[in-house]
Amino acid sequence: MSIGFRVKSGYAIAIVVEGSREAPVAVSRQIVQLCDPQKAETRQPYHSGVGEAEENQRAIAARVKVIERAAARSVDALLDGTTGAGRVLPSVGRVLSDPARGATSTPLRAALVVGSTIDPATVGNPHIRAHASEGKLFRSVLEAALASRGVDCTVIVEKQLADTARRQLQRTDAQIRSALTAFGNVLGRPWRGDEKSAAIGAWLRL
């Protein structure tokens, strides 16, 4: 079993897949909150209230702490098996603790699909740098929260996803699209580009 995340600003779309690379099966989908929905400023912590780059470093630091706690809570909820809608995902939580699997069981693995891994320090424009900083932050806090629970993570840039999938899954674009359609039929709508990217990420980690 594996989980693919399409990381966005303040949240991630998570798709859980089980089976094998040859015969993947979609299990569930949910939104994983990486910010505090009650605190709008944690959705874009490097932006000010008027949309410009935030210059108050204390405000940024306070928001980052909230985001770290939110990510940890959300990952715990996912791995412990309950979605926000109350649907139980029993297999996810048991992968890490099921005695029947034995001490040598394969750790739960995850893929974080992101828009970019650019270093914010290399970006000159303050507004673009703020977006790059948020991308790095949400990717990092999600990865840290998963790692703290023993989940092996890899990061994939979305524009490299199609080539990586063709190469590693050894399937054509048409075959991959067909499998994604099957996933969507199981999980239902919405089934857009972000959900498909997360699903491919999960599939690659099987």
Number of domains in the chain: 1
Taking only the tens place, the pLDDT of each residue in 34-46 is: 999 999 999 999 9
Taking only the tens place, the pLDDT of each residue in 121-176 is: 999 999 999 999 999 999 999 999 999 999 999 999 999 999 999 999 999 999 99
The tokens describing 53, both together, are 């780059």
State the CB neighbour count (10 A cutoff) for residue 61: 10
pLDDT of residue 92: 54
pTM (predicted TM-score): 0.88
**What is the DSSP code (8-state) at residue 54?**
P
pLDDT of residue 105: 52
What stretches of 68-175 adopt beta strand conformation (E)?
109-114, 152-157
Q: Which residue has the tokens 């900083």?
A: 133
Q: Cα(first)–Cα(last) distance of the chain, in Å? A: 6
User: Strand pairing of 152-157 and 11-19?
Assistant: unpaired
Across all residues in the chain, what is the average pLDDT?
90
pLDDT of residue 51: 80
Taking only the tens place, the pLDDT of each residue in 90-101 is: 445 444 444 444
User: Strand pairing of 24-33 and 109-114?
Assistant: unpaired
49, 64, 76, 109 from 34: Cα distances, Å: 19, 10, 12, 19
Strands of the sheet containing 152-157, edge to edge, are 24-33, 11-19, 2-7, 109-114, 152-157
What stretches of the chain adopt beta strand conformation (E)?
2-7, 11-19, 24-33, 109-114, 152-157
- Nearest C-alpha neighbor of 138 from the set 6, 34, 14: 34
For 83, the domain range is 2-204
- Nearest C-alpha neighbor of 141 from the set 69, 37, 61: 69
Measured in degrees and rounded to the nearest 5, phi and psi for residue 156 equal -130, 130
Task: Give the CATH number of the domain where residue 189 resides.
Answer: 3.30.420.10
Q: What span, in angstroms and rounded, lies between the C-alpha atoms of 203 and 205?
A: 5
62, 97, 110 from 101: Cα distances, Å: 41, 8, 19
